[in-house]
Amino acid sequence: MKMYARPGPDHGMPAAGHLGLSQGLVRRGHIGTFPNEVLIKIFTDLGTSGWTGASRILLQAMSTCRKWRDVIRGTPEFWNEIHVIRHLEWLGICLERSQQLPIHISFHWSRIHLLQALGYLHQHKDRIASINVRSLHCEQVKDHVIFPWNMLQLKTLNVVLEHEHADNATPHSGRCPPLVLTSPSLEELTVHGLTIDGHPPAFSSLRRLSIRACSGTRKTHRLPRFLDILKTCVSLEELDLQETALDAILFDIPQATGPMVVLPRLRDLFISGKVEEVSNLLSHMEVGPSVNIYLETDYQEDLSRATFAIRNILPLDIPQSKLAILRSATRLLLEVPNASYEDGVMFITATRGMDLDHKLHIAVRVSAEHLEAGDGTASRDAKATYFLNALEILPTMFPTAPVHTIVCRGEIAACEDPSDWLPLCAGFPRLTTLVIDDSIRFGDAVPLFRALASPQSPDDSRPVCRFLESIWICNTDGEVDRLEEIRKCLMWRAANQVPLKRLRLEVVASEYDATILRVSEYQAHFAQLVPNSSLVIWDIYNPDHVRRMSRGIDVEMPFDRRSSSDSMAVDWM
């Protein structure tokens, strides 16, 4: 049971007469007839509204009568979750009343006197199950470690270190010392504002490790030392390195040289940081096929660097890398969204079949200022450049993977020539399904179809994408001359013995009725060339049409659980 108070007289116990809820209980029966077991059950049930509400109810109940006070004081389960705001005397009271139960402690004030708190905790150290230091000022950990002794029962540790200084204070020139781990049973560790160190036994039981926001000017670890720490985390299931966590590491060895980290139980890997540093770290890791990987760049301010960040965040030598998904991916999603999406401008997601729980997701980030202004690395021209270059880069990221399905979302108007699409088409020879969603609308799909009516290469006269069966184009322009070009390309593939089996064209119309009259005959033309074909016309001024545009892709081609659970389906296969 969680206990919290802002101590006043008598350690913060409120005066009698303020317990409306308890007074209601009194009116229902005689206080003296309530067995202790019933009271404990009632107080336990009342204490489920969060730690502040639960504590307030119990402290008020103590002021109602002596019996209730004695029952609450004598029940250690009501005192073993301890929240300390300012006064450490409250910590001492809870430690005493929790008796021998495992205790869970949270400190909520950055100026809490750490040495005094350690004095209270020392004799109870072997029954501490979790510690949550929500905000600790860095001045308190300059000259000593945060927790100087083993805590044999400690399972969860969360430390948030603040580095902000008052105007009249002198900031320290380097980082605070790393948190030195000594507790042998620790399973979950989150540190914010500092790094970690310790002996191998202290890391062997970790199941979740999160390091965030390392700030300062001094590196605390050379890369080999950091890799050695990770290697000892043999039980690790989740690794989370973000918000400048890698800034504390000196990357002083080349990629794929030195220690190699193998984490056999790893299930979730999240790394955010400078592109070159994330790439280097990944080159020293072996990540199996059952790991969900999320990679995120730092804010990209230079257009040329941002354009290639989606590839450069991966190890330089992809064929020799130990990231299993790069060799086993069968489905790819490329997104360069027109609208602002959090702080990302380009995304790639890779899955093995429909396994949506173990995938690779890469995000290229830019600053909120650029996103809001729509300029710099978040401008429309920049996004068009990202999309165009990603079509060329994507095959180099998965050079040996058996990719059969690709979904591309971006401004297809950026691809003005068939040669813009050829690297994608030729780079995935096993491709069977291609979906293109024009994020701007009214784009021209003809260059894509002309690319599909091309040979594999100058040295290979066979048609490109000779296993391609299905094409789905969303939000393209529906002018008759463009539909005619698409028909010619379909005829070329049929004549070269590589006909499509399924075709869905969704065209956008600003003059809906006139467009229907102009293009309706092409439904019959396409049906003659492709057995399962459909031509859908969306009215750009019809809100219902606008709402339904592109939604079917998320249902038929899901890359996350939210999309796959959507009830709306489009039967086009």
Note whether residue 541 is domain-resident: no
**Shared-domain flag, residues 97 and 182:** yes
Last residue within a domain, chosen from 76, 107, 139: 76
- Alpha carbon distance 152, 144 (integer Å): 21
Residue 512: per-residue pLDDT = 78
Q: Are 297 and 277 in contact (CB under 8 A)?
A: no
Cβ atoms of residues 451 and 412 within 8 Å: no
Domain assignment present for residue 151? The answer is yes
User: Residue 437: helix, strand or coil by DSSP?
Assistant: strand
| Predicted pLDDT at 251 | 95
Judged on CB neighbours under 10 Å (0-12, 13-18, 19+), 66 is exposed
**What was the pLDDT predicted at 573?**
33
CB-CB contact of 82 with 106 (8 Å): yes
| Token output for 504 | 């869905």
Provide the pairing of β-strand 532-539 with 81-84: unpaired
First to last CA, the chain: 55
Instruction: Please check whether residues 105 and 71 belong to one and the same domain.
Output: no
Residue 228 falls inside a structural domain? yes
Threshold 0.95, pTM exceeds: no
pLDDT value at position 175? Answer: 57
- What is the residue-wise DSSP string for 290-315? T-EEEEEEEE--SHHHHHHHHHHTS-
* H-helix or E-strand spanning residue 328: helix 325-328
The answer to whether residue 136 is domain-embedded is yes
| Residue whose tokens read 């000593």 | 144
Picking from 190, 225, 252, the residue at the C-terminal end of a domain is 252
Q: Does one domain contain both 66 and 93?
A: no
Provide the pLDDT for residue 11.
40
Nearest alpha carbon to residue 345 among 320, 314, 294, 381:
381
Query: Residue 337 corresponds to which tokens in the numbers above?
Result: 């969204």
Report yes or no on 182 lying in a domain: yes
Domain boundary among 218, 252, 286: 252
Token pair belonging to 308: 């290639």
| Residue 256 buriedness (CB in 10 A; 0-12 / 13-18 / 19+) | middle
Q: Which of 511, 512, 494, 495 is nearest to 503 (CA)?
A: 494
Same domain (yes/no): 72, 153: no
Long-range contacts of 41-47 (CB under 8 A, 24+ apart): 43/1, 43/71, 43/72, 43/75, 43/78, 44/1, 44/77, 46/21, 47/1, 47/2, 47/78
Tokens of 147: 């927790």
Distance between CA atoms of residues 205 and 211, nearest Å: 17
* Residues in contact with 203: Cβ distance below 8 Å, sequence separation at least 6, in sequence order: 181, 229, 232, 233
Distance CA 194, CA 202 (A): 17
224 in the same domain as 120: yes
Residues 140 and 212 in one domain: yes
pLDDT for position 255: 95
pLDDT for residue 52: 54
> What is the Cα Rg of the chain in Å?
31
Structure tokens at 130: 């979790």
What pLDDT, on a 0 to 100 scale, did the predictor assign at position 216?
59
**Res 142: pLDDT:** 57
Q: Residue 30: what pLDDT? A: 61
* Alpha-carbon gap, residue 525 to 242, rounded angstroms: 53
Structure token pair of residue 352: 């093995």
Q: Which of 47, 84, 80 is nearest to 62 (CA)?
A: 47
Quick one: how far is CA 388 from the chain centroid?
26
Residue 91 domain-assigned?
yes
In whole angstroms, give the CA distance from residue 286 to residue 264. Answer: 9
Q: Do 97 and 160 fall within a single domain?
A: yes
How far is it, in rounded angstroms, from Cα 129 to Cα 158?
Answer: 12
The answer to whether position 87 is within a domain reads yes
Q: What is the dihedral of CA 230, 233, 238, 239, to 10 degrees?
A: -20
Residue by residue, pLDDT tens for the chain (573 residues) are 444 444 443 443 333 334 444 455 445 556 557 788 888 888 877 654 445 545 677 778 888 888 888 888 888 888 888 888 878 888 898 899 999 999 999 888 777 787 888 888 989 999 999 999 887 777 766 554 677 778 889 999 998 887 665 444 444 545 566 788 778 889 999 998 888 888 878 889 999 999 998 765 578 889 999 999 999 999 999 999 987 899 889 999 999 898 999 999 999 999 999 999 999 999 999 999 999 999 999 999 999 999 999 999 999 999 999 999 999 999 999 999 887 666 789 999 999 999 998 999 999 999 988 888 888 999 999 999 999 999 999 999 999 999 999 999 999 999 999 999 999 999 999 999 999 998 887 889 999 999 999 998 888 888 999 999 999 999 888 788 889 999 999 999 999 999 999 999 988 887 877 778 778 888 889 999 998 999 888 888 888 888 887 778 888 888 986 544 443 333 333
- Do 41 and 152 share a domain, yes or no? no
Same structural domain, 100 and 150: yes
Q: What are the two backbone dihedrals, phi and then psi, of residue 34, each rounded to the nearest 5 degrees?
A: -80, 115
Identify the bridge partners of residue 344 per DSSP, sorted by sequence position.
341, 365
CA distance 54 to 70: 18
My answer on whether 103 and 128 are in the same domain is yes
522 three-class SS: helix
- Centre a 10 Å sphere on the Cβ of residue 200 and count the other Cβ atoms it contains: 12
Q: CB–CB of 397/321 below 8 Å?
A: no
DSSP for 524-550?
HHHHHH-SEEEEEEEETT-HHHHHHTT
* Residues 6+ away with beta carbon under 8 Å from 516: 509, 537
Written in H, E and C, the secondary structure of 454-518 is CEEECCEEEECCCCCCEEEEEEEECCHHHHHHHHHHHHHHHHCCCCCCEEEEEEEECCHHHHHHH
Q: Please report whether residue 140 resides in a domain.
A: yes
Q: Does residue 140 sit in the same domain as residue 224?
A: yes
Q: What tokens does 284 get?
A: 């020293």
CA 376 from chain center: how many Å?
Answer: 25
Can you tell me which residue has the tokens 């969704």? 506
pLDDT at residue 20 in the model: 47
515-553 burial: b if 16+ Cβ within 10 Å, else e: beebbeebeebbeebbeebbbbbbbeeeeebeeebbebb
Tell whether 57 and 191 lie within a shared domain. Answer: no
Whole-angstrom Cα distance, residue 432 to residue 356? 20
Q: Where are the alpha helices (DSSP H) in 364-479?
A: 368-373, 380-397, 418-427, 446-452
Number of domains making up the chain:
2
Domain ranges, residue 116: 81-164+174-252
